[in-house]
Structures are given as C-alpha cells and as structure tokens.
Amino acid sequence: MTVTVSSLIEGQRVATGGGHLLPIADPATGEVTCELREADAGEVDRAVLSARAAFGNWSTMSTDRRNDILYAIDQRLRAHGDELAALEARTTGLPIAGVRPLIDRAGENFRRFAEVASTVAGETYLQNAQFLTYTTREPKGVAALIAPWNAPLALGSMRIATCIAFGNTCVLKPSEYTPESTLRMVEIMHEAGLPEGVVNVVNGRGSVTGEALTSHPDIDMIGFTGGTETGKRIMAAAGARLKPAIMELGGKSAAIVAPDADIERALDGTLLAIYASNGQQCLGGSRIIVHRSIADRFIAAFVERARKIRIGNPLDTATEMGPLAFAAHRDHVRGYLDVARSDGAEILCGGGIPAGFEQGWYMEPIVAMAPGNDARICQEEIFGPFATFLVYSELDEAIAIANQSDFGLVSYVWTRDLATAMTCSRKIRAGTIWINTPMMRELRAPFGGYRASGVGRDGAQHSADFFTEAKTTSIPLEDTAIRALGR
C-alpha cells in the first residue's frame, strides 16, 4: 500500500492540495511505498504563519511549563521507540539495531535542551558605580530548519530541540528522500502536549520547498544540517537578508591508528566509525591513517572483518549493514570505485551487489588503499561504506594528512600513549577529537565543524547563544547628569 505524506501545519496533517507528487521507494526492495505531495510556496507560507502565530504564547510561557512539555515529549518518544525505530529503519535502510538507541537519543535531545534552558541566566555589570547594567536572553523568533536523509529522527530532533527549548517556534523540512518518520515523530510530540504551531513540517525538494522556506521573509534564523554545497547556497541567501544561520555540514574525517594502539579496540572502532549507519554519516572515519609498522597486519584484519559484516534487511535485528538510502546514492558511492582506480588506488574488497540482495540498493562494504591523500577518494565526501587507508611513519605526518582536507568535522585517534593523544588533540583542526572511542556524543559539549564542515556549534551554551537574542538594559542607580541640549 502506498502512503501519501505532505505537510503538518498547526498540529494537523495537511490532507489535500495540488503539489507535485514524488514517488519514494523502500531501499530494501526498490518498490514505491510512499508518495510525497510537495509543499509549494503557498503551503510553506501557511506553515510559517502558523509558527509565527504560536510564537507569542510559546515564547512567553514560563520555562518550567515549557520544560514540562519537553520532558513529556521525551517520555512519549521513548514509549513509541519501537514503532519509530521500525519506521526509520524501513524508510532509510539503516539497520534497526543501530536505529533503536537513536530514538531514545531523539527523546534525550528534548530533555537535555530543556535542562539547558532552565539554566539560562543573564549577567549584571556594576563596574560603573552609577549604573546597574544587566542582560537578558530572549527567544529569537521563527526558525527555518532543514534536515538531511541519513538519520532523519536523530538529526531532525536535534534541530527542533535546540530551537524550541529556548522559546522559538519553527518550520522543519526533512529530506525529500525520507519524509515519513519525521512526520510521525512530530505527530507524537503533539500527542505529548506540544501546542499547535510550535513545530510545523513541510515536505518537498530542496529547490522548491526548501528554497521557499529559507527565503521566506518572516523567518528569523536558519538551522541547517546537510551537504556543504547546499549549506553555501543557503548561507549566501541568508547573508543577503542578514539572517543568522547555523550550518552542520559534510566531513572527510581522519582516524589515526598509532603503533601503540590497542589493536582490537582500534579495529572495532575504525570499522564502526566508517560502516555504522551504512557508512552514511557526516562523522564517518573515512580516511584511516595507520602507522607503517602495523599497517599490513591492521589492514588485513580490517578487510577480513569488512568482508564478514552481516548485510541484511534493515528490520532484522542481526543486520549490521542495510541497503543504501536510494538508488542514485548507491550509484554515487559505486561510482567512486572507478574514480579510485583511475587515481591509482587499489580496491582491497567490496563494491559488488551482495548475493541474494539484488533487489533494493544493497552493496558490499568497500576498503581501498589510497595512493596518497591528494586522491579524490581522500578529498571528496563519498558518504557511503567506503573506507580508505593511508600509511604514515611520523606522527607529524599523520597529523598533516588529517589536516590536509577541506573538511574538519571530527577526528579519531587510537593510541595508548598520552603524549600522542594530547599532541593530536592540540594539532588536529577538527571540531571534535575522539581518542580511543568512536562517536561519543556529549550533548552538553559543542558539536560542529571547522572549515567546510560547518559554521557555528550545537551544544548547551552554543545553542542557547544562537537561538536567543542577548539584550542589555542599563538603569541609573541615582540621578545622573544628562547633558542638556537646547535648554
């Protein structure tokens, strides 16, 4: 049966309308299971009006009352965890075993940012003896939020939570490839008590619905998670209208494996960092830089494990890798096999269609040996299960390779030597450095990228700063002289 999805405005799914229809296929079978009715500029306008109308009450509600609602959303999302995880896995192709914890994380996003909101406080300045000067923080207004397809619930909930916890309202556009789970999540948020209009959802292509939303004159700010080129376009448009924008963009992250690393942990960690979520993650450790003395042994063991990754239906709890999200994306990832070969790289394994998985967009995980860090497979974001190896001799060389990239989102370091760890932490130019751990996300800490990986940071204080306006008030403590003009 084909489901039709469209927008959710003022707390209600929009049932009718004449928008363009887009077929959406199940990544595991290739069959069309969903039809997206695209929101045009008029529908986007209604969604923004709805968010603007809700802003009055939501922004002036006491933080405690707002937080009660955010805590209820956390509870309700967790209670619907199995349902949401199945929907997310089926529509994205992500293995359900990896998706299920992300639903609890989606709930946690609302709880964590509610906690942050309850600690927001101003400053007072009494250095000038005649005046009391203090600051307050006010919600900024209506946000346009844009999310990608690789983890719609984890990333969509992050965008929404950082925005509404500080009293703002929003219109979110999920990716046109994966619209279903976000709509259901926002519906559940309303069941938990979210007032109508605080969160609205519009669906459609970036060039139509996305542009109508980000260029809408009544939008006060933009929160974007997606590709670097799209981010540049949106930021240029935002700049022309002086709208602040936070950008979480692409990555080509390095994983350095030092000679003293715990090899088994480093293997587990580097495999997970590139192949989790079917390799479709911004923080994927796609460039693995191994010390020459252990390279042969490490790479051979990595290839052996990559070959054994269990490929299967995303709804099967034993599956470690599902299909890629859509046909064009699988073609894009496989296209890098030719790019690699023409650059002189050696494909060590993978890239084929796994036997028994000819339907849908499955592919075997790829391991390649790069001829050098200049190769396109080391410089371009492939965003799939494509691990690329490089070898180094001196730590400075490994760090230089890590930094020789347009991107700077995260970096992984595997070592038991404190000096190596601290040198990497200081010298690698990336927003997050993970030492002896893959993908530890501390929601209170800033997260974001250097260079082409982003502008701004999510995280407790950083989100509070972005999503509120700081206001300064000065009051004389006694009658102060005012220079009298025209008396």
Residue numbers of the site for ligand NAD (CB under 6 A)? 146-150, 155, 173, 175-176, 205-207, 210-211, 214, 225-227, 230, 233-234, 248-251, 282, 381, 383, 409, 449, 454
Cβ distance to ligand NAD smaller for residue 210 or 365: 210
Among residues 34, 163, 170, 282, the one annotated as catalytic is 282
As measured in angstroms, the least distance from the Cβ of 206 to ligand NAD is 2
Q: How far apart are CA 204 and CA 19, in angstroms?
A: 9
Cβ distance to ligand NAD smaller for residue 235 or 294: 235
Q: How far apart are CA 300 and CA 286, in angstroms?
A: 17
Taking the CB of residue 463, how many other CB atoms lie within 10 A of it?
Answer: 27
As measured in angstroms, the least distance from the Cβ of 453 to ligand NAD is 6
Cβ distance to ligand NAD smaller for residue 137 or 252: 252
How does DSSP classify residue 191? H
- Is 456 in contact with 247 (CB distance < 8 Å)? yes
Q: How far apart are CA 111 and CA 300, in angstroms?
A: 43
Cβ distance to ligand NAD smaller for residue 149 or 298: 149
- Is 302 in contact with 367 (CB distance < 8 Å)? yes
Q: Nearest-5° angle of CA 195, CA 156, CA 173?
A: 80
Cβ distance to ligand NAD smaller for residue 249 or 290: 249
Q: How far apart are CA 143 and CA 221, in angstroms?
A: 5
Catalytic residue list contains 248: yes
| Residue of minimal Cβ distance to ligand NAD | 206
Give per-residue burial for 103-132: e unless 16+ CB within 10 Å, then b.
Answer: bebbbbbbbbbbbbbeebeeeeeeeeeeee
As measured in angstroms, the least distance from the Cβ of 433 to ligand NAD is 15
As measured in angstroms, the least distance from the Cβ of 137 to ligand NAD is 25
Among residues 211, 248, 320, 381, the one annotated as catalytic is 248
How does DSSP classify residue 365? P
As measured in angstroms, the least distance from the Cβ of 306 to ligand NAD is 21
How is residue 466 written in tokens?
Answer: 């972005």
How is residue 81 written in tokens?
Answer: 């965890």
Catalytic residue list contains 282: yes
As measured in angstroms, the least distance from the Cβ of 155 to ligand NAD is 5
As measured in angstroms, the least distance from the Cβ of 209 to ligand NAD is 7
Give per-residue burial for 218-251: e unless 16+ CB within 10 Å, then b.
Answer: ebbbbbbbbbbebbebbbeebeeeebbbbbbbbb
Count Cα atoms within 13 angstroms, Cβ side, for 332. Answer: 14
Cβ distance to ligand NAD smaller for residue 229 or 262: 229
Cβ distance to ligand NAD smaller for residue 236 or 300: 236
How does DSSP classify residue 206? I
The residues carrying an active-site annotation are: 248, 282
